[in-house]
Every structure is written in structure tokens, then in C-alpha cells.
Amino acid sequence: MDGVRETNVTLIGMGSIGIYSRMLAPLYGSEFSFVAPVQMSRTAPGQLTLAENEVLRRRKARKPAVIFALVGNPASHSISPAIHNPRFQAEGVNAVYTLIETSDFNDVAEAFNAGKRYAPAGLGVTAPFKEEAFHFVMRSGGEISLRARSTGSVNTIVRRPDGSLVADNTDVEGDYSFQDGAIGNWWATAAALDTNSIMPSGTYFPSLPGG
């Protein structure tokens, strides 16, 4: 994306793996964006909708001070940017939330850990990388919460200003809340207990009522 610092340049990342640059390029001076009117009319994987693009272009500060991203495979289906970016704008936070779809978590981890240009300062981690991300933070000497250690997986990693990492697994709290509301509802409880099929933390409930 260094090239978009020059004038009259348009950058378009292709495919699902290009979403990260598609969302950041307008913030760094890319002249044009090719978008779909609505989600159902997308003509290519990774293409943003008009509404998604407008949220980025309406930012008061075009260049973000902080980049956050969700990394997974797949990740392009996530609605996280649609949730976080309007909230950042409403609260006056100079940050952007984008997506990283990759088949190799190490490619992302290396740039993230080194704090490279355009690398995110915070990562949300989804399937299938939660356990791999846990071991990455362990190798990096990062701080890992007790509940993340108990599950052997993480879904949130932040790089502090000093370069150190801190990681947590908020799935545990979310799963517990779901189960707590599902007590007495056998199918909902079974669904919660079966979340290990999509996230390893789903089987760990240290304070489950009656457990």
C-alpha cells in the first residue's frame, strides 16, 4: 500500500485475501473503490458494499491511528467491521477494524509481532487459528489470561506500545452466559456443549451451575 501515497493511484486487493487492503486503501489515499450496491449483488469475493465503503470514507481522520483485524479462514463472512467501524466513528475513535483471511496464521503473526507498517495492533482470532494463536503468544513470551491457559486457545491478542503481547479468550465468558440462560432448555444446552466443534474453549465451564 505504500504506492497509494502517490497521487492518482487506485489499489484493489483481489479475492477474499484482499479484503484487508481493500478496506485500508481508501484510508491511505487510494482514489477509487469498486463496490457492490448491496451484499447480494457482489460480483467477486472480498468486494465491499457501498455502505461498508462509505463508513470508511466518511471518517474524519482518513489515516487510522490504530488498526484492528479479525484473522481466520474463512473470515470474509464476518460482520465485525460492520459492528466496530460505525461505533469507532460515532465515538470519535481514530481506528479501523478489518479482516484477514489466510491459510497460514504465521504470515499474520510475524508482521503483527514485529509491529510492521500496516500491521494491526490488535487481533481477533477465529477458527481455525485459536489454538495456534495460543502457542504463538506462548513462544513470544506474552501474557495469557488464566481462562485462556485453561482452554489452550485465545481469541484476542493485543500488542502493547512496548511490543509485548497480551492475550485472552472471551469465548469462555460468552459460552458460560449462553449456558446460564439455557439451563432448563435441553436443546440450547446441548448446542452450547457442542461448541467445541467450532471453538476449543466451548468445553470449559469452570463455574457452570451444578457442575
Q: Which residues are catalytic?
A: 130
Whole-angstrom distance, CA of residue 154 vs CA of residue 170: 8
Whole-angstrom distance, CA of residue 24 vs CA of residue 118: 9
Whole-angstrom distance, CA of residue 43 vs CA of residue 36: 7
Which contacts (CB < 8 Å, 24+ apart) does range 132-136 have? 132/105, 133/105, 133/109, 133/157, 133/167, 134/167, 136/105, 136/106, 136/109
DSSP state of 97: E
Residue 54: phi and psi, rounded to 5, are -65, -35
Whole-angstrom distance, CA of residue 203 vs CA of residue 79: 25
